[in-house]
């Protein structure tokens, strides 16, 4: 069992940020990004209710099993693509080691 994984978050200026994420403390991707001072608002606190942590999965990880709540919220977001996810709904586990995501534009 690994103690940490590495992920990459690409910001809106296309700058990649490699982040080592400890496992076992139940983090989600939104919290990781915020913790690294990246421009993710996470307004609703992680309830899939605001879309301010909208991002695109750019690595090959097949993590598109979205909950109804997340789909609902994506219906209200903009710039949504097939590889869109709400970062707050992406759990940090060994399965997402090497994950690369890009932050989506935020609408007005």
List interacting residues with another protein (CB under 8 A): 43-45, 47, 49-52, 68, 71-72, 75-80, 105, 107-108
CB of 39 to another protein, least distance (A): 11
Cβ closest to another protein, residue 14 vs residue 37: 37
Cβ closest to another protein, residue 14 vs residue 105: 105
Residues 6 or more apart in contact with residue 61 via CB below 8 angstroms:
95, 96, 98, 99
Cβ closest to another protein, residue 4 vs residue 43: 43
Token readout for 63 is 């993590």
Burial of 24 (0-12, 13-18, 19+ CB in 10 A): exposed
CB of 45 to another protein, least distance (A): 7
Strand locations in the chain, DSSP E?
Answer: 4-10, 16-22, 54-57, 84-86, 100-103
CB of 13 to another protein, least distance (A): 18
């Amino acid at each position: 069992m690994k103690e940490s994984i590495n992920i990459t978050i690409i910001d809106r200026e296309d700058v990649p940020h490699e982040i080592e994420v400890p496992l076992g403390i139940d983090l989600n991707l939104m919290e990781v990004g915020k913790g690294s001072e990246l421009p993710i608002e996470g307004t609703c606190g992680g309830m899939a209710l605001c879309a301010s942590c909208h991002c695109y999965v750019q690595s090959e990880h097949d993590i598109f099993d979205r909950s109804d709540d997340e789909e609902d919220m994506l219906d209200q977001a903009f710039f949504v693509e097939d590889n869109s996810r709400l970062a707050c709904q992406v759990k940090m586990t060994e399965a997402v080691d090497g994950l690369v995501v890009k932050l989506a534009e935020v609408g007005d």
